[in-house]
Structure 1
Amino acid sequence: MRVPLKTWSIALAAALTLAACGGEEAEPATDTSTMAVTTAPVVRRELASAITASGPVTAVEEMQLGVELSGQRVTSVNVDEGEAVARGDVLLTLDARTLESDLAQAQAALREAEAGAALARSNLNRGEQLAGGQYISASALDELRAARTQAEARVGTARAARDAAQLRRDFATLRAPAHGVISARLVQPGQVVAAGSELLRLIKDGALEWRAELPAADLGAVEPGDRVELRDRNGAMVTGVVRAVSPGVDAASRTGTVFADLPDPGALRPGTYLEGRINTGLATVPVVPDEAVVLRDGFPSVFVVDGEGTVSIKRIERGAADNGYVEVRGGLAEGAQVVTRGAGFLADGDRVRVVAPNAAGEAATPATADTAPAR
């Protein structure tokens, strides 16, 4: 039986259509709406452990200097703030005219008493010679001895009065009690001062320290001898050593204080508030690559990839950082896969394609400008 040409044409067209449809179904689908990223697991490794804290730079020992006289006028101030002084240097002087007059009177009284004592001793010597020849009575000799003792006592009284007058005169000159640096000057020439009032302030030996407040959880990790690193306002590194750690914590704030000596403070000045790093040694801790940590809403966070290629944001407690790794103190389980390259482009709930770390050109960039993940 002959088949009409029209029928063959229809059948051929149908076969070609089926072949075309079958070919399209065989091609693998490619999702171009997901971003290519690389991941790394949360692992434990040895890390240079450090604690970051903030605190002021202060004087190890700051001495408040004043005078022990009241109602005296300042005649000169020989130092200014920031000036280095040596032990014994004259810092200021008071008007000492009345004190010098009192001292002169006390010295004259002492000389008078000493002359009386010399006369009493001479009389006693003559009396003892006369008593040997029985020219004077025993009672007269006793009177001579008593006169000598009274005269020597008056010498002691006059000498003590002279010493007191000399001490008051010395109080009119304020001298540096130790080597150091003047940190404050609170007096001017012509000012009438009172005893005990603060006139100058001295940083003993110019020694500075850094005092950092740490929570109780971190305080136990710091020990005397640990190295401290600070940076001044010019960016220069200043190193120090922990001298002491407070034995307890404040009941209200639950913090304790770390005292770190700064042997070479450089440009640091007392009162400067700085952030510093306390190196506490090596420790094996959970870590993630530094590039995996991003800031979201002001908090350090990472993106964790589940088995279906969906990311979820996890806020973490960040610890020490060293050699490209960051300590994770909380918020992640060991072994979790976190996004490394490409984390900065992601939002919670995005779907991603995990690629090999050597696919540098494909990872860390959205597939196209039109299909970048929405924020």
Structure 2
Amino acid sequence: METPEQQRKAAPEVPDAASGKKSPIGLVKMAVLGALATIGLVWAGQMIQHSFLYEETDNAQIEGDIYPVISRVPGKVLEVTAEDNRLVKKGEQLIALDSLDFVVRRDEARAALKNAEAAAAGARASITAASADEKKLQADLLRSRNLQRQDVISKAELDAVTAGALGAGAGHAEAESRYRAALAQVELRQAELRNAELQLSYTSIKAPANGHISRKNVQPGQFVQPGQHLIALVGSGRLWVVANFKETQMEKMRPGQKVSIRVDAFPGETYEGTVESISAGTGAKFSLLPPDNASGNFVKVAQRVPVKIVFDRKPERPLSTGMNVVVDVRVD
């Protein structure tokens, strides 16, 4: 059995509060709390500084050129070479329509042009013949006038020759008029042929720009109408960001200011950009049903102003239109 002195030595030492000594655990806690407080103060300071130097919004998306591929002539779809999400080049054929009717119209226009050219050639020959007749009768008129002055022929004979010369002149003028009309018909038939060839070319629907096939609404065998939307082509030339800032954030925002862009799809990566332009109207003004504050009860709502931001360098990541981003505009 242990003695009281042995029990006193074996018992753990309890710090004496009156002595002012603290345990190691208490010191660690205080150090951790101090570090957390310091971190909090630094973070709060950075946030305050950020609020003075930057305007931030997560109401922003990546935008790009979207080209509608439409049909310009009616026709039956024979072939669709466009595939979803495939990269295509400008001028590449995407859809082929049945061109037989347009080939027939082109051939008819060619035949009509040949007929018009033949008629013009005949009219030109008529001008040559009429000109020759007029020259002959004018010469006869000069001789007849000399003979009449010498009383070789009568006045009646001179009048007959004069009438013939006048008729030849009128015939010459009429031939020239017919020739001009024939030339006009040739120009008309040429225009009809060009139109027929143009309509025929529209049966091959091609890509208007470089880009990716994003939405396809056409299949072989389908009959399409002029203006019908068949394919949406997202251009691969360049992308930009449209950020919708609250009107209360626009006081110091100007074109040319630098922007930090963070894409939700690629966390941890930041892209540099520049404010290119600021919309002259709020998004609500261009909506399908813009609000009319003059009617009914008025509820004040902070409006959003679209701001266009361009990338300083083309992103290496495969960004897509419609992706959400967070932007910070430095407005100091």
TM-score normalized with structure 2 length? 0.66
1:271 aligns with 2:322: yes
Summarize deviations over 1:112-137 as a string: whole Å, max 9, x none.
10011011101211221221111862
Match of residue 247, structure 2, among 213, 216, 220: 216
Partner of 1:227: 259
Where is the helix percentage greater, Structure 1 or Structure 2? 2
Partner of 2:171: 140
Distance 1:150 1:132 in 2: 24
The Cα of 1:202 is off from its aligned counterpart by 2.0
1:243 aligns with 2:294: no
Whether contact under 8 Å (1:91, 1:175) holds in the other structure is yes
1:60 aligns with 2:57: no
3-state SS, counterpart of residue 229 of structure 2: coil
The Cα of 1:108 is off from its aligned counterpart by 0.5
Summarize deviations over 1:27-75 as a string: whole Å, max 9, x none.
4789999x744356799789463333224534332121201223x1111
Seen in structure 2, the aligned counterparts of structure 1 residues 151 and 250 have a Cα distance that, compared at 3 Å, is closer
The Cα of 1:250 is off from its aligned counterpart by 4.9
Summarize deviations over 1:267-306 as a string: whole Å, max 9, x none.
22122223x231406x6xxxxxxxxxxxxxxxxxxxxxxx
Seen in structure 2, the aligned counterparts of structure 1 residues 78 and 59 have a Cα distance that, compared at 3 Å, is farther
Pairing 1:39-54 to 2, within 5 Å after superposition: 47=49, 49-54=53-58
Gaps of 5+ in 1: 1-25, 284-375
Pairing 1:111-260 to 2, within 5 Å after superposition: 111-134=114-137, 137-225=168-256, 226-235=258-267, 237-239=269-271, 240-250=273-283, 252-260=301-309
3-state SS, counterpart of residue 118 of structure 1: helix
Whether contact under 8 Å (2:61, 2:243) holds in the other structure is no
Distance 2:279 2:174 in 1: 69
1:82 aligns with 2:85: yes
Seen in structure 2, the aligned counterparts of structure 1 residues 246 and 83 have a Cα distance that, compared at 3 Å, is same
1:99 aligns with 2:102: yes
Whether contact under 8 Å (1:238, 1:264) holds in the other structure is no
Distance 1:117 1:166 in 2: 23
3-state SS, counterpart of residue 253 of structure 2: coil
Distance 1:85 1:220 in 2: 43
Where is the strand percentage greater, Structure 1 or Structure 2? 1
TM-score normalized with structure 1 length? 0.59
Whether contact under 8 Å (1:213, 1:256) holds in the other structure is yes
TM-align CA RMSD: 3.3
**Aligned residue pair count:** 255
Whether contact under 8 Å (1:57, 1:211) holds in the other structure is yes
Distance 2:242 2:267 in 1: 20
